[in-house]
Structure 1
Amino acid sequence: MSVQRGPISQFIERNYLHFNAAALMDAAKGYEKHLDEGGKMMITLAGAMSTAELGISLAEMIRQDKVSIISCTGANLEEDIMNLVAHSHYKRVPNYRDLSPQDEWDLLENHYNRVTDTCIPEEEAFRRLQKHIHAIWKDADNAGERYFPHEYMYKMLLSGVLEQYYEIDPKNSWMLAAAEKNIPIVVPGWEDSTMGNIFASYVIKGELKASTMKSGIEYMAWLADWYTKNSEGKGIGFFQIGGGIAGDFPICVVPMLYQDLEMENIPFWSYFCQISDSTTSYGSYSGAVPNEKITWGKLDINTPKFIVESDATIVAPLIFAWILKQ
């Protein structure tokens, strides 16, 4: 064992020898090998990984250049910042499985929105961000400028306007780390988020133009250009946390370039790992095994492929700890 490995890595290597545990170890070593050979990595974030505080490990991955690009849901884009500015106001409900419909209604009445065992406070999280992001949207709208959803978030973070609210160590915010590095993000289906809904409300009221926000199609066109420019050499790996649109959207850029744009020399994704508890079943896109992606022109027959059928909130920080030699 390499001497620079920390205790978490040593524990994983000693204990994680079979089944999903071994798949975790293999995926981590494959990720590390991909980077060591000069490859780049996309990480995709589904679900509520930001509210699960993945930022504690992901922010350090970003700072140490272990990730080149991120694809995430609109929820993950905003919820990391919400945790940054409203952490002390979150409410934990360990007995969430026992809640009755009345209990859930009471949480709503008290302006708490529940994500499994964690309730996000509406006033301190959503509304605290709303006034600041609205000002940035409005400035762009007035100037006839257009940006992507994540670019507006970067502007807000880098302006320092939120620093007055910080309630966690800012080094644990992956969005802040990403903004400081200016790493690219794609946010498919951003409209399906609280800030997306808020933006839509201003459009409906006639206060903002829908075109002030760049669209998902523009994200795909941007990603096609980025992939083409960055896939030389070892190529780009794909590390998918959970299922859903955060993974489904960006992985399709390869078959689009090859089949629809007829760029016959475009390389496949050169590493693939998915952490998911979505079972392999009829029509389950998130539960599709990696080999199925070969038939769609996403992965090559020789692409290293890993699937860890487990809880991403447990698995992802352990894989990141290995890559960070913790």
Structure 2
Amino acid sequence: MKGPISQFIEHHYRHFNAAALMDAAKGYETHLNEGGKMLISLAGAMSTAELGISLAEMIRQDKVAIISCTGANLEEDVMNLVAHSHYKRVPNYRDLTPREEWELLENHYNRVTDTCIPEEEAFRRLQKHLHKVWKDAEDKGERYFPHEFLYQVVKSGVLEEHYEIDPKNSWILAAAEKNIPVIVPGWEDSTTGNIFASYCIKGELKASTVKSGIEYMMYLTEWYRANSGGKGVGFFQIGGGIAGDFPICVVPMMYQDLEWHDVPFWSYFCQISDSTTSYGSYSGAVPNEKITWGKLDIDTPKFIVESDATIVAPLIFAWVLGQ
């Protein structure tokens, strides 16, 4: 029996983007019920939007097997975990003058739409612990992926005294507890990546201590080979950008470049995007375009919900969780 949120969606969401949301949610559920696994990709500022409130429960209940996200989403979930009370909401963000934006900068607030991240406060609590795991690995001649270093920090318990939200609402904590893989393409394009680069420039750390994007693709290739049997792996894409573009390419890469002709296509595809169909916009490309790139099959269930992911994703997750 579905819960009240699901009942509300099914009753009211009958047409247009609402119907697309309902169809995508039912398709996700069917995919899992038939033994499939799901990759979720996180672009934009989903962690700052506190998507962890619903995503963490999806991870705990094995509704997602692997995540691909930007470096910003990787770090910002933990920043919200340890510095939530210092975040600042700006409901009138559309009305800010350049001078008011400058004042936010001077007060160490970086604005994402209506939410300002207190980078000074968040990184004061995180940076020293990351530096320690980077340095310890280097001293031992070990190398890890960005998400593995973050897992080491959160699993060690050193941040627990700083928790400012209920830890059940942190998707990184849920992912670390389950030890699910997190693919982080372009990790260098994040505050943590910039900090790591600064240590390398100063000669304090070696760039090779953190594994690279190419190694992430190699790792994803192994994971996909091991997990794409039976019903296969679905692809649930939130937003556009590298978080989605990078992992979806693993299938044509194996088929075309490695010439492994037994590679199954992604077996479900849904994209939530507010980038409407347009000229040359990858994020605005309809799913059928992916057939021509060797990513999706003719009969792969395909859904696109052209709406705000902060509204759509929690509703789809609620349906999948039976809430």
Structure 1 length normalisation: TM-score?
Answer: 0.99
When the two structures are aligned, how many residues end up with a matched partner?
A: 323
Aligned twin of 2:310: 313
> Could you list the per-position Cα deviations for residues 117-147 of structure 1 after superposition, in whole angstroms to 9, with x for gaps in the alignment?
0001122212221111111111111111100
- Give the share of equivalent positions with the same residue, in percent: 84
Partner of 1:102: 99
Match of 1:202 in 2: 199
CA distance in 1, matches of 2:158, 2:152: 10
Q: For residues 148 and 199 of structure 2, what CA distance do their matches in structure 1 show?
A: 19
- Give 1:282 shift: 1.1
Answering whether residue 294 of structure 2 is matched by residue 283 of structure 1, we say: no
User: Which of 68, 71, 75 is 1:71 aligned to?
Assistant: 68
Q: Which residue of 2 is the match for residue 31 of structure 1?
A: 28
- Match of residue 162 from structure 2: 165
1:88 and 2:85 correspond: yes
Q: State the shift of 1:304 in Å.
A: 0.2
2:125 corresponds to: 128
Give SS of 2:120's match.
helix
SS of equivalent residue, structure 1 residue 274: strand
In structure 2, what is the Cα distance between the partners aligned to 1:9 and 1:285? 31
Which residue of structure 2 aligns with residue 141 of structure 1? 138
1:221 to 2:212 alignment: no
Task: Provide structure 1 residue ranges, at least 5 long, that are not aligned to the other structure.
Answer: none
- Cα separation, 2, equivalents of 1:137 and 1:119: 28
Q: Deviations over 1:72-105 (max 9, x none)?
A: 0000000000000000000000000000000000
The residue number in structure 1 matching 2:50 is 53
Of 239, 242, 264, the match for 1:242: 239
Alignment partner of 1:272 is 2:272: no
Q: Secondary structure at the match of 1:176?
A: helix
Which amino acid letter does the alignment assign opposite residue 178 of structure 2? K
CA distance in 2, matches of 1:123, 1:265: 49
TM-score by length of structure 2 reads 0.99
1:261 has 2:258 as partner: yes
- Segments ≥4 residues shifted beyond 3 Å: none
CA distance in 1, matches of 2:91, 2:300: 41
Measured in 1, the distance between the counterparts of 2:293 and 2:111 equals 37
Residue 89 of structure 1 aligns to which amino acid in structure 2? H
Match of 2:115 in 1: 118
**Selected match of 1:179 from 176, 179, 193:** 176
Q: Counterparts of 2:102 and 2:72 in 1: how far apart (Å)?
A: 22
Alpha-carbon separation, structure 2, partners of 1:23 and 1:86: 36
Tell me the distance in 2 between the aligned counterparts of 1:107 and 1:255.
Answer: 44
Partner-residue secondary structure (3-state), 2:110: strand
Question: Which amino acid in the other structure matches residue 212 of structure 2?
Answer: S
Secondary structure of 1:266 counterpart: coil
Whether the 8 Å CA contact 1:255–1:296 is kept in 2: the answer is yes
Amino acid at match of 2:215: E
Aligned-residue offset at 1:245: 0.3
Residue 262 of structure 1, CA deviation: 0.6
Q: Is the 8 A contact 1:126 1:194 kept in 2?
A: no
* SS of equivalent to 1:71: strand
